Amino acid sequence: MKPLTLTVDAPSHQYPIFIESSLQDALMRQLAQYSSKKAAIVTNHTIAPLYLEQVQAACKAAGVDAFSIILPDGEEYKTWESLNLIFDGLLTNHAERSTTLIALGGGVIGDMVGFAAATYQRGAPFIQIPTTLLSQVDSSVGGKTAINHPLGKNMIGAFYQPQAVFIGLDTLKTLPEREFAAGMAEVIKYALLGDAEFLNTLEQNISAIQAQEQDILAQVIFHCCKMKANIVAQDEKEHGVRAYLNLGHTFGHAIETEMGYGVWLHGEAVAAGMVLACHLSEHLGHINAEDTARVIRLLEQAQLPTQAPDFDLDTWIAHMQHDKKVINGEMRFVVLERLGKAAMAKGITAEILANVIPHV
């Protein structure tokens, strides 16, 4: 495939996303231009044996003096303690404010390293090398960085944009199938919230995408990054349209929290949550049952769950009231005006939800 480049025009900063079959080729060609002469590669124990060597080799070839910091793997390590391990590594290796932090990994690493970069000596440059489908289409674009607090996910963070994002499609080959599917939930989300034509493309090419055929996969990732970048350019700090990216997420977060983190992957919960958002949209008279069936079909083809678990209604509502989209106590939901166009629904009552959500 031909390498693709996209420019993200966030109001605070402009930077490129490079999408290529081979991560190493992309880095060899362009790393020198985007990294300082000194860099810290931050990754985890799962990814280091797979990709650290090639990133180190690319740094060497680019004349970048790099050291590595390897963290434990898992959402449960997206914490203050891990952040401190990054700072320990930076300080021990005499990293300066100009040292580039290179995040090599999925969304957990990307979010944490981005936040470390935002705060190390009041702001060091950083580069993202996202290695999960979810991080390639979602978390590496848009500049949200964070760690979790014991009382809430992503509660401590900053908006901070990278110098560049390097996406190598070859890194997805080692990704567990379930993680690939979870990323597909976010891919399908973009189509539903903003692009009916893209929905057709996904439906027509779903087998090729699942088989990771390079051309279509690259196009899909490019398109998702572009949609997110456009939304972020309009609304960097989530005062308006950026909230549409939360389609399926209010329901999804309730599923994730109630089941216990890690039981359902985020993307899986979002998939079932998007089906509920479709039912809610049907209830509001926007879309019809055939539209919902179409969404379910595509999610199933992407190996995603479409049926939310049965909790009691109070449990659902208690979780959803904790959502960051609750403003002045009012529950708001991203719904679909039609397939390919999201809208915000306010004033959704418990009675309406009782008709939409599976509950005991």
Binding region = 73-78, 107-111, 131-132, 144, 153, 171-174, 186, 249, 266
Q: How far is the CB of 353 from ligand NAD (least distance, A)?
A: 25
Is 273 a binding residue for ligand NAD by CB under 6 A? The answer is no
Cβ closest to ligand NAD, residue 60 vs residue 173: 173
Residue of 68, 99, 171, 292 interacting with ligand NAD (CB under 6 A) = 171
Strand, coil or helix: 56:
helix
Interior CA angle at 19 toward 122 and 187, to 5°? Answer: 90
**128: which 2 tokens?**
């993202």
Instruction: Please state the residue numbers annotated as binding site for Zn(2+).
Output: 186, 249, 266
* DSSP bridge partners of 104: 129
- The answer to whether residues 133 and 179 touch, using CB atoms and an 8 Å cutoff, is yes
Give the rounded distance of the alpha carbon of 80 from its chain centre: 21
d(CA 113, CA 29): 23
Is 71 a binding residue for ligand NAD by CB under 6 A? The answer is no
Q: How far is the CB of 345 from ligand NAD (least distance, A)?
A: 22
Cβ closest to ligand NAD, residue 231 vs residue 345: 231
* DSSP bridge partners of 132: none
Is 179 a binding residue for ligand NAD by CB under 6 A? The answer is yes
User: For the chain, where are the alpha helices, taking DSSP H only?
Assistant: 23-34, 53-61, 80-92, 107-119, 133-134, 177-194, 196-210, 214-234, 249-259, 266-283, 289-301, 313-321, 350-356
Is 355 a binding residue for ligand NAD by CB under 6 A? The answer is no
Q: How far is the CB of 20 from ligand NAD (least distance, A)?
A: 15
Cβ closest to ligand NAD, residue 184 vs residue 353: 184
Residues in the site for ligand NAD, rule: CB under 6 A?
44, 46-47, 50, 73, 75, 78, 105-109, 111, 131-132, 134-135, 138-139, 142, 144, 154, 171, 174-175, 179, 182, 266
